[in-house]
Every structure is written in structure tokens, then in C-alpha cells.
Homo-oligomer: A and B are copies of this chain.
């Protein structure tokens, strides 16, 4: 089954278009986990990586019956070096083992041959001494298309051959996303609209049975008007929507990303799930040690919040 249909099936089974963003920082992790890991190993990077992995596993365990997908943000693993990347690899494997769709958020980009290497790393296979091996083995990857189609083609190849997916940055959630993305072109389109047109075109050969393509787009919840416009402009693209929760996007904002049947989008929340125990909303109900239970409560609330707005 292609990525788009796998994603659609997972969302329908759980009746939830949410994604658990796993952007773990050590400060989010309770002392008990960190203390245990520091006693197990001397090396600080190793202890950090073990702490992150246990934190992630407990979040996955607490939410995997409710949430269809996880999105580890690669940067938060790279900052802990190769040990951190070990935690990423293990997190991806654990998520997949629990039946979750795993979206590696790496925003990778480069010229053709190098994009091919990135695609092998996250979506495809690497030939090692004649044997096809998988490095990070995610289901999908976020990519940046500043370099145009030949930096995207290798990923599309793995989407086709390996039933994987990509989400191309179109309109990002950050305050300065307009600096380039909102610039108006001579032909009247804005840069993000032009990017949306490319995503639509690139995705056409990969449309699944549910009408959506394995080539999706990233559009931030923090720009609800553009989200509305882009939903129409890319009728076959899954929209991965960051910016709900901690970044300020509401259920009403993200509702624009969905079609009439409540399909076509997935909404990511990272900090508001990982650190749900800290939210005003749950004040006094969960200790730091109960972060996973808090994440579950918040995941249910988030699901119901989004569904009620559709």
C-alpha cells in the first residue's frame, strides 16, 4: 500500500489526524529517568541518548492507541551527536513496531546525487557490500525544495518504489516565514503559491486510492488564511500542519487544512504533548514523573478539539 493510503488508513482507524512530535530536550525529561541513565553509563552523550529514548518510548506507549503517527525532529537528536542519532534510530524502530507512521522531520535538501543519499538514509536502502541495508527507515521525510525538482526526484523515486512519503515545505509556521515565502513573483503568485503548484504537479503520479498523493506539503497552523487557500490549491496533497498548541495555532486554524470529509491533513504538536504536565490546562493534575499520562490526556483533548472543529 502506498504511503498516502497507509496514512489515511492509520488516521481513520484511530479517528485522529494528530501527530506526536518528538523533539526531546533533556530539560523535558524527569530527573528519575535521567538519574537512572546516568548511573547506567558514564558517558554524558550516552546517558542523554538513553534518557531521550526512554522518554520517547514512554510517550509512544501512552499514546500509540490514540495517535496514528509520530514526527521526530532530527535536529533534537543531532544535537546529542551520534548517541543522539542512535536514539533517533531506536525511536523510529520503536514507533514502527507499535504500528505508527513515522515522519522524520529533517527538511533535507541538496543537488540530485546528494538528495539521493539523503533519501537512502531516511526512506530507501543503502547498498553496503552488495546488501541493501536501511539506515533510519522512516515512513516519510520533510524536505525543502529551494533547489527545484532535481533535488526532489530521488525522494519521489523512493516514494514510488518503497511506498514512502515526503512533505515539501510550502508555508512554514515561523514568524519570518514570509520573508521569502510571501514575496510576490512577477506572474502574480507568491513564492509559497508557486511552491504549492510544484507540489501539486510533483504529486500527481503518486495519488493513492484515497485521492491523496504521497507527496505532501508543510503549511503552518499559524497562517490560517494561507492554509485555507493552499488546501484548495493542492487538492491532492496531504498537509502536515505544525504550529498547533505551543506555537499558537488553534483547532479553528487547522480546520482549514482538511477537506469536506475531514481528511487530507495531519496536525503536529510537540511541546504541548511532551510537556503537557506543564500546561495551565492540566495544572495540579500531573507531576513531571507523570508526563506520559499527561501527554495521553492532552492527546485526547487535542483529538477532540480538532475533530470538533471539522
Point out residues on A near B: beta carbons under 8 Å.
23, 26, 34, 38, 44-45, 47-48, 73, 75-76, 78-82, 84-86, 89, 107-112, 114-115, 117-118, 120-122, 126-129, 131, 133, 135-136, 144-151, 169, 172-181, 183-186, 191, 194-195, 198, 242
Contacts and interface: CB of A to CB of B under 8 A. Distances in A.
Contacts of A177: 147-148
A117 B81 contact: no
A44 B128 CA distance: 7
B78 A121 contact: yes
Nearest to A135: B81
Contacts of A109: 107, 109, 144
A156 B173 CA distance: 21
B129 A79 contact: no
A127 B44 CA distance: 10
A110 B144 CA distance: 10
Nearest to A48: B128
Given A121-B81, A185-B183, A191-B183, A111 B174 contact: yes
Given A146-B144, A186-B185, A23 B79 contact: no
Contact of A26 (B122, B128, B135, B191): B128
Of the listed residues A82, A126, A150, A178, the one surrounded by the most CB atoms of chain B closer than 10 A to its CB is: A82
Contacts of A181: 146-148
B194 A174 contact: no
Contacts of A84: 135
A146 B147 contact: no
Contacts of A147: 169, 172, 174, 176-177, 180-181
A181 B150 CA distance: 13
Given A23-B117, A147-B177, 16 more contacts: A23-B114, A26-B127, A45-B128, A75-B117, A78-B122, A79-B126, A80-B135, A81-B133, A85-B85, A147-B169, A148-B178, A149-B179, A150-B175, A180-B194, A180-B195, A184-B186
Contacts of A195: 180
A128 B25 CA distance: 10
A180 B145 contact: yes
Contact of A146 (B44, B118, B146): B146
